[in-house]
Structure 1
Amino acid sequence: MLAFSARPLALLAFLALLIAVVNAVHPVKVQGQDFVDTVTGKRVMIIGVDYQPGGQAGYKPQNGEDALTNGTVCLRDAALLQRLGVNTIRVYNVDPTLNHDDCASIFNAVGIYMIIDVNSPLGGESLNRAEPASSYNAGYLSRIFGVVENFKGYPNTLGFFAGNEVMNDVGSSKENPPYIRAIQRDLKNYIAAHSTRTIPVGYSAADVRPILEDTWAYMQCSLTGSISDPTRSDFFGLNSYSWCGADATYQTAGYNDLVTMFANTTLPIFFSEYGCNKPEGVARVFNEVAALYGKDMTGLSGGLVYEYSQEESDYGLVVINGNGTVTLKKDYDNLQGHYNLLDLALLSSTNPSQTTVTPPKCAASLISGSGFSQNFTIPSPPDGADDLIKNGIKDPVNGKLVQVKETNVPMKAYGSNGVEIKGLAIKILPDDQSNAPSNETTSPSGTAAPSPTASKKGAAVRTGTGAWGVFVAVLAAVVVLL
């Protein structure tokens, strides 16, 4: 039997730790009105896409399926999203009892962060907008705490959405705001008790102008006058579709009004959905991208285009064919073209505030609308919640990064012109990088017949060189040292 000394064994343990975190993006924190890389201290601007293949119908927990359970599908989509130039996806519906390691690790390896919604469209898995008190219970909290447990271990989990458009008109803005803050408090207290790092929690708001400014004011204020108030949003998402068509401008879309409205924000604000599809039947030109990432809007933190795959609502960048192949839409090409024109130096040179941010103290005077809640008495946790927060939920499924060995996409993909995209694969990024536009064009040149929908055999899957290659190299070095 080969005997090992203590020194080589310690070296092995140290190298194993390095291998475990290789190619992991740096976690993100909130600092003032910015997202900030926790290692480099540089600002993180969201260049993203909303990701929910199959739409709400794709959420099938009864079949063990959600948007992040199929590693082969995620490999395909990560390759196309990486080439598009995004660094963030938003995922709406996930089952906390399922394993998401393959998909989360693939997106991590290509430098893409994830913002996860803790709710779903199924009964008991979201707040009841019409009667919030009836759905705010320990069973619901156990479900959303399960999402935290499932995703807290992935360094590319950027944050959690506690709610999406819970207030979508004046009527729904009367009773619901205190409950959203209660959910944020419970999520943040659970994260503080059971996560090794702080993970931001925020809210995604509807762009309903009669209540938008009040929603932001209500969510960003502090009951205590400091940022440590756990009921306060860490970030604020806005689902905005005001920029429609090629003739829209910064002024006609009301972007100038948003910049004025949010000028004094003390938390990050970004578009959690954007990309109007009017006029119907016409490819989106995405002229708003230049404005959103231009010098007039650097006070905001970017945005997420709605949405990756073509669903019934007709907002897709790609069409997922019945056999698993993918065809790009012209919308994808147009968006990629605008991403390639972004001034990344401008975005990275916008220095986050290094000073302590003091949010406004919550008061009725912050609310201008007569119908919006002025009640800042936040509901107490329901029976059983304190025990869940203190001791954790029962039998959580804790996600962790796994090695990404397969890089080639096994199913075919086609450009918007029908020409096959040859050699589609992910590129595992080194040195803790996040993804960024790379001035490439994904749709090949030329013309072809419409892409086929019959089942076809894809390219063979091979072992990638990124993290696995590093593992082999390090292991070889260890053998030499021993």
Structure 2
Amino acid sequence: MASTNYIAVTCVVLRINVRLLLFHTQAVILTRTDDDSKDPLADATACARDVPIMKELRTNIIRTYYINPDADHSACMKLLQDAGIYLISDLSSPNSSINRADPEWQVSLYSRYTSVIDELQQYNNTIGFFAGNEISNTAATTDASAYVKASVRDMKAYIKQKGYRSMGVGYATADVTNIRVNLANYLDCESDDEAIDFWGYNVYSWCGNSTYEKSGYSTRTEEFRNYTSPVFFAEYGCNEVQPRQFTEVDALYGDTMSEVWSGGIVYMYFQEANNYGLVSVVDSTSVSKLKDFTSYSNHIATASPTGTNKASYTPTNTALQVCPTVDSTWLAEATPLPPTPDSTLCDCIANQAACVVSDSVKEAKYGTLLGVVCGMTDCGGLHSNATTGKYGAYSMCGVKDQLAFALNKYYDEQDKDASACSFSGSAKTQATTKATGTCSAQIKEAGTAGTGTVSTEATATSGSGSSSTSSSFASPIGLHSSASFGSFQVAAYIATALLAGVGMIAL
């Protein structure tokens, strides 16, 4: 099967918010993959096949869960632009994302995120990015949301710092009963600089011929009526009853819900083992339309929510939410957030270390060695705890640079005794030069223990080559999960602009 891992979003009405101009969306998730090598926007043949089908389904936005920032996306982006289709892309990859089980926000992940922004900002039909998808999915994993929010803060700052045109940074969440309110409030509280620009909600509660009330749509709508950011269903389309009838489309784009929601994303476009598809792939140039395609197409064709004129729009829901407090159901302090990854500081501490890891030690063994060293010296400067809101100055560095800090700290505490920089040959001494300028100021602010707050030019930078780590992708949960496609999810928003004369809009 040809690579099809991109998402199409349908936008039917312009919705304007204080932070971002967003369309009403309708969407279809295409397929799932855990392969970093498959970049849908680098496959011009697949794009030529699928873009016309998306347009037939009235698409005007697509979402990609993964792109290779080093690939050429010009052909696909041109096809999308010619069809009046915008792009929202996830910033992570299958093998580089915030890991809910062991969350961190550090230089290599920062570098991955910024590289995606750098690549896609050149295309005028790129309107925004997802900083995460279903990262926190239980009360026990809500601490990971602090790292998501830090990434939102830093990507918004990066876009501004680089002088790029306005592009939003948002988040897509699972519909988890005991955390959904706190999570929504947390990502939209404290300050505009930290808050998400849009909120994607993965909802599978309307099954068969349900109703606005029975499905819970009515409750969700009231919960978000005064939300500051634009909200839309990032996934929907329960398949407990087959073929799907998509009666929820009428409600989602009806007058009541369209006052609050900017449409939604149908799961999913391509047929896979979990039976959520609208089409099945025949070959690299053709697809076969399924019964779900006909049903969805019929309902979306009748959607006609009322549009909003940007010039005459005055936002009323401008107040940010109240941040949740830490308790048994919420584990992330509102402030401070994890520090901004700064490869300059990480390089600085590594270069100033007189005792570092030996070249013979394999990267896979770094973590084990770090555990040994931190059993012999206090490694508070490396620790990161979202529940207490305490973050070491070097918690955002890669493990090799963290090893340099820990090894050198222990070496200093042992009066630079030769045996203190051995660890059975796993460590070695190196020549150093005295820190000056920014490096000197940052190390002084971090302190000997590394627990101080670094404020001197603590601007985010691309990750250093010595600080690479990888995290497992936060796998989706719920009815749509399919073990056959690993933990990486891809969606397609299938949508269209119903407003007369709406084409490619400069945001």
Which position in structure 2 is the counterpart of 1:181? 149
Q: How does 1:343-422 map to 2 (within 5 A)?
A: 343-344=304-305, 346-348=306-308, 353-355=313-315, 358-360=318-320, 362-364=322-324, 370-384=329-343
How far 1:85 moved relative to its partner? 1.0
Q: Give the Cα separation in 2 of the matches to 1:72 and 1:195.
A: 33
Please say if residues 240 and 271 of structure 1, whose CA atoms lie closer than 8 Å, have aligned partners that are also in contact: yes
User: CA–CA distance in 2 between the matches of 1:368 and 1:248?
Assistant: 35
Residue 215 of structure 1 aligns with which residue? 183
Matched, 1:262 2:230: no
Name the SS for the 2:187 alignment partner. helix
* Deviation per residue, 1:449-473 (Å, 9 max, x gap): xxxxxxxxxxxxxxxxxxxxxxxxx
In structure 2, the CA distance between the partners of 1:349 and 1:48, relative to structure 1 (3 Å rule), is farther
Change (3 A) 1:334 1:371: same
Equivalent pair of 2:36/2:66 in contact (CA under 8 Å): no
Is the contact made by 1:33 and 1:265 (CA closer than 8 Å) also made in structure 2?
no
Structure 2: 5+ residue stretches without partners: 1-12, 346-456, 466-499
Give the 3 Å change call, closer, same or farther, for CA 29–184 of structure 1 in structure 2: farther
Name the structure, 1 or 2, with higher relative contact order (CA <8 Å, separation 6+): 2
Give the greater-gyration-radius structure (CA).
Answer: 2
Q: Give the unaligned 5+ runs of structure 1.
A: 1-27, 37-42, 396-429, 436-482
TM-fit CA distance, 1:352 = 7.4
Please tell me whether residue 278 in structure 1 is matched to residue 247 in structure 2: no
Q: Deviations over 1:92-111 (max 9, x none)?
A: 11111111111111111101
Which residue number corresponds to residue 403 of structure 1? Answer: none
| Amino acid paired to 2:75 | D
Letter matched to residue 327 of structure 1: S
CA 1:241–1:391: 2 relative to 1, 3 Å:
closer
Task: Note closer, same or farther for the CA distance 1:375–1:196 as it changes in structure 2 (3 Å cut).
Answer: closer
Give the drift of 1:195: 4.3
Give the TM-score normalised by structure 2.
Answer: 0.63
C-alpha spacing 1:271/1:71, structure 2 compared with 1 (3 Å): same
Give, in angstroms, the shift of residue 137 of structure 1.
Answer: 1.5
**What residue in structure 2 maps to residue 39 of structure 1?**
none
Distance 1:67 1:385, change over 3 A: farther
Partner of 2:39: 66
Distance 1:140 1:305 in 2: 29
Verify: 1:326 aligned to 2:287, yes or no: yes
1:119 and 1:378 map into 2 onto residues whose CA distance is 20
C-alpha distance in structure 2 between counterparts of 1:383 and 1:30, whole Å: 36
Could you tell me how far 1:312 is from its partner in structure 2? Answer: 2.9
Task: Please report how far the alpha carbon of residue 140 of structure 1 lies from its aligned counterpart in structure 2 after TM superposition.
Answer: 1.1
Partners of 2:51 and 2:315 lie apart in 1 by 37
Note the aligned Cα RMSD (angstroms): 3.1
Q: Distance in 2 between matches of 1:353 and 1:368?
A: 39
Per the alignment, residue 307 of structure 1 pairs with 268
Aligned pairs, number: 348
The answer to whether the aligner puts 1:197 opposite 2:165 as a matched pair is yes
* Aligned 8 A contact 1:362 1:376 in 2: no
Note the alpha carbon deviations across 1:223-268, whole angstroms, 9 max, x for none: 4xxx3x2x211111001111111x2111111000101111211110
Q: Are the aligned partners of 2:125 and 2:504 in contact in 1 as well (CA < 8 Å)?
A: no
CA contact (8 A) 1:165 1:205 kept: yes
Q: Is the 8 A contact 1:286 1:334 kept in 2?
A: yes
Give me the TM-score of the superposition, normalised by structure 1: 0.66
Letter of the 1:170 counterpart: A
Q: Does the C-alpha gap of structure 1 residues 369 and 393 become closer, same or farther in structure 2, counting only changes over 3 Å?
A: closer
| AA in 2 matched with 1:103 | C
Q: Does 1:106 align with 2:106?
A: no
Q: 1:34 to 1:374 in 2, by over 3 A?
A: closer
Question: Could you list the per-position Cα deviations for residues 340-391 of structure 1 after superposition, in whole angstroms to 9, with x for gaps in the alignment?
Answer: 11125x24579974247533365446x8973443443201113417889667
Contact in 1 for aligned 2:45/2:284 (Cα 8 Å): no
* Corresponding residue to 1:153 among 113, 116, 122: 122
Write the distance in 2 (CA, Å) between the matches of 1:187 and 1:251.
38
Query: Deviation digits for residues 11-64 of structure 1, max 9, x if unmatched?
Result: xxxxxxxxxxxxxxxxx998426853xxxxxx7222333344xx215x442xxx
Partner of 1:56: 33
Question: Matched residues in 2 for 1:270 and 1:137: separation?
Answer: 29
| 1:424-448 per-position Cα deviation (integer Å, ceiling 9, x unaligned) | xxxxxx977159xxxxxxxxxxxxx
Q: How far 1:222 moved relative to its partner?
A: 2.3
| In 2: Cα distance, 1:391 partner to 1:147 partner | 14
Counterparts in 2 of 1:376 and 1:314: CA distance versus 1, 3 Å: farther
